[in-house]
Amino acid sequence: MNSTDYNTPHAPNWCPGCGDFGIWTAFKAAAAKQAWDNTNTAITAGIGCHGHIVNFVKLTSFEGLHGRALPVASGIKMANPDLNVIAFTGDGDSLAEGGNHFMHAARRNQNITVILHDNAVYGLTTGQTSPASPEGYKSKSTPEGNIDHPIHPLSLAITAGATFAARGYAANIPQITDLIIQAVNHNGFSIVDILQPCVTWNKIYTHTWYSQNIYLLDESYDPTDKVAALLKSMEWGEKQIPLGVIYQSNIPSCEDQLQAYQTDPTPVIKRPVVKRDISDLFDHLR
């Protein structure tokens, strides 16, 4: 397969220069390299500019309610663990409306991959401050400046229990292609935080700003050291934004431990429906 096999009749309509184009291109490249198709892969998305990706990738997909991409992904994976399940979400979608789901999916170490389109702003609804926006950020929702501390999504994920946490930059397509492949092949909750400039609304985290302040982790870095990874995930600022696999550990995933699969590995979705007579239960409750 090649990347163009995943194109749909609909051309992407993101703003010219949007980081979503890089994520879209990298994901298709990863899918082609790994032969992901409708027999082995499903994708979900939340609400936001990122959510339009389900219209531009020819794979089985489901766009959930705002903040609900991860519960849908979790349900799909539990029903059919054989599938690669990838949730596309934004910093507003998953860290605000979906913050509860994000934290607990990581805590359970569910075997799903989260691709976080991180532009630190609510882009689709015209530029309001998001949980990832920096302090002092001025927008329609914080005209006098944001007084909240921004969330570090990788720090939150690692603390909650994620077993794979990586960061990439949307303009570096080869790098994020590799990170997406590693994340999907990891057994457990994986997140790739992709720094994705919003060229229309966010005039702080621009392509120029990122290009001046990101750096690649060197080969001596040990992603298995959780404390060091947590500290690394919180680095932010001038020439202080690390890219690469920041944390990785190998422990049983949620699906590995589900009682339904302990004696029979057949996915629930493939098992025959068994009729049960519960008349005795109703008689007992009368």
| Domains of the chain from N-terminus onward | 3-258 (3.40.50.970)
For residue 180, what are the contacts with CB-CB under 8 A and spacing of at least 6?
26, 27, 30, 113, 115, 192
Smallest CA-to-CA distance from 62 within 53, 54, 71, 74 is with 54
The token duo for 36 is 């992901």
Return the structure tokens found at 25: 């291109």
pLDDT value at residue 147: 96
The residues pairing with 43 across neighbouring beta strands, listed in sequence order, are 61, 86
Per-residue pLDDT of the chain in tens (286 residues, 90 and over written 9): 899 999 999 999 999 999 999 999 999 999 999 999 999 999 999 999 999 999 999 999 999 888 899 999 999 999 999 999 999 999 999 999 999 999 999 999 999 999 999 999 999 999 999 999 999 999 999 999 999 999 999 999 999 999 999 999 999 999 999 999 999 999 999 999 999 999 999 999 999 999 999 999 999 999 999 999 999 999 998 889 999 999 999 999 999 999 888 888 899 888 988 888 889 888 888 7
Helical ranges in the chain per DSSP H: 20-34, 69-79, 91-92, 99-107, 153-160, 173-185, 207-213, 226-233, 254-257, 279-285
Q: Retrieve residue 148's tokens.
A: 């909240």
Q: How far lies 229's CA from each of 94, 190, 242, 247, in Å? A: 21, 14, 11, 5
Supply φ then ψ for residue 105, to 5 degrees. -65, -40
User: Token pair for residue 259?
Assistant: 């009682």
The rounded distance, in Å, linking the Cα atoms of 85 and 30 is 14
H or E, element range at 44: strand 41-45
Per-residue pLDDT, 281 = 87
Q: Where are the alpha helices (DSSP H) in 119-244?
A: 153-160, 173-185, 207-213, 226-233
Query: Is the entire prediction scored with pTM above 0.85?
Result: yes
Q: Rounded to a whole number, what is the distance in angstroms from the first to the last CA of the chain?
A: 60
Closest alpha carbon to 104 in 268, 261, 254, 278: 254
Nearest to 232 by CA among 156, 155, 170: 155
- Two tokens, residue 235: 């680095």
- The whole-angstrom distance between residue 71's C-alpha and the CA centroid of its chain comes to 12
Q: Which DSSP letter does residue 268 get? A: G
Q: What is the pLDDT of residue 256?
A: 92
Per-residue tokens: 244: 């690469």
CB 260 within 8 Å of CB 269: no
Q: How far apart are CA 98 and CA 103, in angstroms?
A: 9
